[in-house]
Amino acid sequence: MAPKELIYTTVGDAVLAHRNLPPGGRHLMVAVDLSEHSFEAVSFAFDSIAREGDVVSVVQAIPPIEGQFGRIETPGEKRQDAMVSLHEKVRGIRNGLGRKNIPFRTDVEYGDARKVVLELVEASQATILIVGSRGRTSLKGALLGSVSQYLLTNAPIPVIVVRHPKGQTPK
């Protein structure tokens, strides 16, 4: 994300456009993959971590699609639809927790989730990264290439992995 891009942040029910994050507070970034586990991480961020003066960014990576001439980025319309859908889901979670005073923004980018999230962490100067865990064992995670494990190892900022107790399903 280029620093000169406009950034849209939701405060209460109003959407504000600005070029940089509001001054003060922390920048909490939550990476989602649209699974219920990842939205539990969004709930955790608003309910347990965010406080007055913080900003929450919720980011999603969309993999490029295979086209006739190789891998291409997803059409802009799909990205825009994904951003609107993500924004509405996050607004519902935040408002359901009674945290309308915590501003948030959403971003959807193309590419491998590991690379996209680390690039956004650096570009936005996030202070904490929060991700959900699908609860795979370390062996399954290693074999399947766990994004949360990769971020724990490579992120330049503290990473919180939100797990769920055994036997419970995400909200």
Domains with residue ranges and CATH for the chain: 25-162 (3.40.50.620)
Structure tokens at 51: 């406080």
Average pLDDT, the chain: 79
Per-residue pLDDT, 110: 83
Stronger pLDDT, 145 or 54, i.e. the higher one: 54
Q: How far apart are alpha carbons 68 and 82 in whole angstroms? A: 23
pTM for the full predicted model: 0.78
Q: How far apart are alpha carbons 117 and 98 in whole angstroms? A: 27
Q: Please give the DSSP secondary-structure letter assigned to residue 138.
A: H
Taking only the tens place, the pLDDT of each residue in 102-130 is 999 999 888 899 999 999 999 988 999 99
Q: Is the pLDDT of residue 12 over 80?
A: no
Per-residue pLDDT, 56: 94
